[in-house]
Amino acid sequence: MSQQAVNSEVLKVLAERHSVKEYQAGHKMPKEHLEQLLLSATQAPSSWNLQHWKFIVIEDQAYKEKLHPIAYGQKQIVDSSVVIAVLGDLEANKNVESVFGPLVAAGHMPKELKDTLAGQIEGAYQHPQVPRDEAIRNASLAAMQLMIAAKALGYDTCPMGGYDAARFAKEFNVPERYVPVMLISVGLAATPARGSSRLTLDQVTVSNTF
């Protein structure tokens, strides 16, 4: 496939992704597809490459039924093939050694650079707003990448912010280190997605400065 064809296919996937709320109930996603979605999500960019995300994969029907009332009875919770709960890591600064240690050991990063980055990260994380901002920002990048990967594999998705996050954290035993960012239903659409209108580029862009 030529580079032009690849580019065209990527743009097509982006254009055709729409939120879907009606799924073919009972469909079980193959393990290799689920793993590909999650792998694609983990390839998202992140601040300092700290990878501020954690995913709870909810595919057991009993757990989807448990989640159903927490998500205010949204039908896609129980009918989709899987629900991915995307969490943001409030303590991603603790990932420094895991992320940079292997690079130093392999000779790809000087230890001095690692120590400098570690200092920058710890300094940033002293600011009260930074851990939450970075957790939500970077986990959201992973969430979008997961949804695009799903569309590329023939699945549809719906990102959901309409759920009781505190109750979810309690009933799904989410450690305090993580903040719930969103739920994403994934499955085969039962009815085609409806297109939605978008603001024009003139309405959403500013050239150089306000």
pLDDT of amino acid 197: 87
| Position 66 in a domain | yes
| Position 210 in a domain | no
CA end-to-end span of the chain? 42
| Position 147 in a domain | yes
Give the total number of structural domains in the chain.
1
| Position 97 in a domain | yes
User: Domain range for residue 157?
Assistant: 17-204
Structure tokens at 141: 């990048």
Q: What is the tens place of the pLDDT at every residue in 171-209? A: 999 999 999 999 999 999 998 887 788 999 999 999 999
> Structure pTM?
0.94
pLDDT of 150 higher than 80: yes
CATH number of the domain where residue 139 is located: 3.40.109.10
Q: Tokens 């994934």 identify what position?
A: 186
Helix (H), strand (E) at residue 89: strand 82-89
| Position 2 in a domain | no
CB 37 within 8 A of CB 135: no
| Position 11 in a domain | no
Quick one: how far is CA 193 from the chain centroid? 21
| Position 5 in a domain | no
| Position 121 in a domain | yes
Residue that wins the pLDDT comparison between 9 and 88: 88
Q: What is the tens place of the pLDDT at every residue in 43-62? A: 999 999 999 999 999 999 99
Q: What is the tens place of the pLDDT at every residue in 61-118? A: 999 999 999 999 999 999 999 999 999 999 999 999 999 999 999 999 999 999 999 9
